[in-house]
Structures are given as structure tokens and as C-alpha cells.
Amino acid sequence: MDARILEELRAIVDGRGLVSSPEELHTYECDGLVNFRVLPRAILLPTSVEQVRSIVRICHQQRIPFVARGSGTGLSGGATPVENGIVISLVRMNRILEVDFPNARAVVEPGVLNLDVTARIQHNEFFYAPDPSSQTVCTIGGNVAENAGGAHCLKYGFTTTHVLGLEVVLPDGSLVHLGGKTLDAPGYDLAGVFVGSEGTLGIATKSILRIVKRPECVRTLLAAFDSTNEAGAAVSGIIAAGMLPSAIEMMDNLAIQAAEAAVHANYPSCGGLLLVELDGLLAEVESLMTDVNGICRSNGAWEIRIAQSEAERALIWKGRKSAFAAMGRISSNYIVQDGVIPRTALPQVMGEIQRLSQEAGLRVANVFHAGDGNLHPLVLYDRRVPGQQEAAETLSARILELCIEAGGSITGEHGVGMDKKKMMSKMFAEPDLVTMQRVRCAFDPLQLSNPTKIFPTPRLCGETPGEYTPHPLESSGLAERF
């Protein structure tokens, strides 16, 4: 990228909106997954959709790859910059443009923080349901890219459930509107395809969100078991009884120790801790809570607590939501894994994780969204011990293979990004991946939008408008054209 292009870009965003000094660029060299680091050529911080379009148009003309970025909290390297590319940070586009209570919609820019949506609407007893653990700092734009989940998606669904429409700048700079304020707009559900596409189909500059009325009451129960297997059996009992709690979370002993050390959540010390939250009508919830209590007892729970106040409930959740960061208290380094298994495979997969952990001589702490089988094993290691990091990475990858073997998925909410590209061909067959990439070619024939993510073998699109120029990936022998 020559200086002239840099000046053109600077002119679009004014002085404050361009970062290109090497020291400052380092801030953006990685996201929440720090073992992938690439220094971009420049960071652009647009303040309007028109600025985003102008930047993307230049990228398109000059064949410059770009990576959109929110707060950079992603855990799969989805916002890792691309070599010789630019990063388009959306954090300055952070306005909540419209709140429409009668229709239960909110229209927001991509840089709005997840929790700020709820903060804006809670006076009217509404909330925005997707609640990733990073919700105090992560952006809606990033949530849309990753189809972020959270503890409460068991009942309320994922980001994709709550995105009704999108304004998107396509990789050629054109602007399209996918979905809308009303349901079932005629045509393909491209908003459904865009959410979770990890920034590979364009940049969302506006999202129409569904907001949700707060239920009459929320009850949170903590149950202590001797093992995760017993806790898991209780989860199956709850589901088999026909209940749909808003959240069912599980932590093992190591995770409990870490959370206690970090935020003093006052959890009972046990082998398997279950957190069950029910919400809805008071009478209904109280009656179901009695059932949950009974199911936990009959599966071996020896201590059951129900949060008696909002403060107690908040503390219970604080312990759970800070569990990843809390690992720092008990280990100098750790890998956060994100895999999904059919819930019934839990005892078998847990047993296998334990065996692998012993074999590798590494501790694994486990935090689960147990209701939907989403595991977050945390592999603990010490970087200073030679060979331990590699062993941890191998163990972490092996856990994902266990998930695939059990009929699950390599990621439930963190995304594929850089981290799990190689695992994609273990989960999907070649025709599956080629078909996805054909869809990608419809959005981004030049493959400029976050080009190095998701797919293990990038394939270039058959038809490219204009004069043929070899794609950088093609020249370097990393991709083939089809």
C-alpha cells in the first residue's frame, strides 16, 4: 500500500480516524486470541456508513483486504488483521439510533456495546437477550459477525434470533438492506446467512434488533453435586421433565476454585456445581422451581441454594461470567476452548477429557452451558515450562475432536476465525465447505473481506470482474481458483 492510498484513506476519516504509526498499530495486532498476531498497514475508524463505503471502495479498487473489528474481544481470532491489509474499527459508530417499544425493535450502529442496549431500554422493562460473558465490553457488530450466544440462549436464542434486519456495506462498497423491521421480507434470508459469517461477507453498519419484555420473575438456583456426571444427570432430568429453563450452567471443581479466588462468589466447594435459572410468570416459576429442586436432590445434590435477592443473583452470575478470566488466579496461562456435544454425551466426553488431561499432565477446568451441551474446557499450562504450550494446544485440539466424534460442533459461540480453520474439514466434508464458499463468492468475489478466516482451503471465485490479477493467496500458492 503506497503513501498515496494512505492519504486517500486519511482524507475520508479525518486525522483522528486513521492510525498508522507502528507503536499504535500493535494495539490492533490481535483480538482476544493472542497467539495470532499480524500487524495491519493501517487502522481506519470511520464515523458514518458513508465513510465505511468510501474506505471499502478504495479497498475494492486497490485489492486491499480489510478486517472489520469491534472491541476485539473475540476468542477465535476472527478480527486478526490480514497482512498488507487494513483494519476497519467500528467503535466510533456507537449510536443507538432508534428504540421502538411498541414494535419491540431497536436500531443500532455496530459499535454499540451489547450491555448498552439493555441499559437504554430497561426503564421500560425490556432487555436485549443475547448475553455473551463479555457483554460489558463487546459490540453488537462483533456479536453479529460471530453470532454471539451467552448463558441465556438456551431459552431466548442466539444473536441471529434477535437480528431482524441489517444494513450492510458489501465488499465492493455497495449498500444493501437485508431483512427488515417486519418479518419474512420477500426473498432469501440473507440476514440469516450474514449473522455468524465472521466478517467474511461484508460490514454490517446498522442492525435492527428484537428486544424482549422482561419476565415477571427470575429465580436462580445453585446446586452442589459430588461430580459433573451427577450434575449432568440432573440436567437431563430437568429437560426430560419438559422444562425449558432460561439458563443451565455447570462448573467443575477447578473452575469453582478459580471463580472463588477471583470474585468470591461464595460457591459451595464441590465436584460439580449447577446453576439453573427459570423465568416467567411467578406462579409458574415457583411451581417449576420446586420440581427442579426435587430433580437435583434425587440426582445427588447435597446443597441447594436459591438466590434470595437481586444482589445474590448478580453475585452468582458474576462468578460464572468471570470464570475465564479467573483462571489467571490458578494458572499462569490457559487456553479457552469452545465445543458442543449432544448433552447426553456429557459423561462420556467428560471422562475422556479427564483421561487426556491426566495423560498430558495438564489440568483442565470445565465451564459449560450445560443446557445446550456447549463446553468451555480451559486447558491450564505454564508457558515457561518447555513443551507445555504445545502439549496444551494438542490437548485442546483433541478435545474438539472428541466433540466432533460425539456428533457435536467445533464451536458453539466463539466462531472459527483463525483458530479452528483446520478443524473445519474434520467437521464438514469438502462439498459442504465448497458450497459455503460459493455463497461467499456471491457476496465477495474478490475475497477482500476478512479473507483468511473460517475456511481451511480458501478457494477463489470463478468470475472476477475486470482485468485478471492473481490474488495474493493464489500467487503464494495458498489457494486455487475454481
Partner 1 sequence: MDAAAQSHSAALLSSLRYKLISFLGPEQVQAASAPDVVAGVQPKLVIVPGSESELAEALRLVGDAGLTVIPRGGGTKLCWGNPPSRADVVFSTARLNEVTEHAWADLTVSVGAGCTIQTLQETLAQHGQRLALDPLWPAKATVGGVLSANDSGALRLRFGALRDLVIGVTLALPDGTLASSGGKVVKNVAGYDLPKLATGAFGTLGIITRAVFRLHPLPRNARSFSIGTKGAEEARRLIHAIQNSKLAHTALQARFENEAAPIVDILFEGTEVGLDAQEAHLKELAELASLTVTSPDIWNTRQDLWSFAKPEEAAIAKISVLPVEMDKSTTAIAKSAKVRQLRFKTVLQATGIGFLRLEGDPANLRFSLQDLREQFESNAGSLVVLHRPAGMAPFDAWGSAGDALPLMKAVKKQLDPGNALNPGRFVGGI
Residues 363-382 touching partner 1, rule: CB under 8 A, are 369, 372-374
Question: Which CB sits closer to partner 1, 44 or 375?
Answer: 375
User: Given candidates 11, 119, 176, 385, which one binds partner 1 under the rule CB under 8 A?
Assistant: 176
Which of 140, 178, 307, 362 is close enough to bind partner 1 by CB under 8 A?
178
Residue among 28 and 126 whose Cβ is closer to partner 1: 126
Interactions with partner 1, residue window 389-408 (CB under 8 A): 407-408
**Closer by beta carbon to partner 1, 76 or else 388:** 76
* Residue 135 CB, nearest approach to partner 1 (Å): 17
Contact 139, 78 (CB under 8 A): no
From 185, 218, 306, 391, residue interacting with partner 1 (rule: CB under 8 A): 185
Residue 394, class by beta-carbon neighbours within 10 Å (0-12 exposed, 13-18 middle, 19+ buried)?
middle
Q: State which residue, 6 or 193, has the beta carbon closest to partner 1.
A: 193
Contact pick of 414, 453, 459, 471 for partner 1 (by CB under 8 A): 414
Q: Pick from 173, 192, 271, 300: which binds partner 1 (CB under 8 A)?
A: 192
The answer to whether 351 contacts partner 1 (rule: CB under 8 A) is no
> According to CB under 8 A, which residues from 226 to 265 bind partner 1?
236, 239-240, 242-244
With binding defined as CB under 8 A, does residue 170 bind partner 1? yes
Residues 273-332 within binding reach of partner 1 (CB under 8 A): 280-284, 287-288
Give how many residues touch partner 1 by CB under 8 A.
Answer: 86
Task: Kindly tell me which of 43 and 204 has the beta carbon lying closer to partner 1.
Answer: 204
* Residue 128 vs 443, nearer CB to partner 1: 443
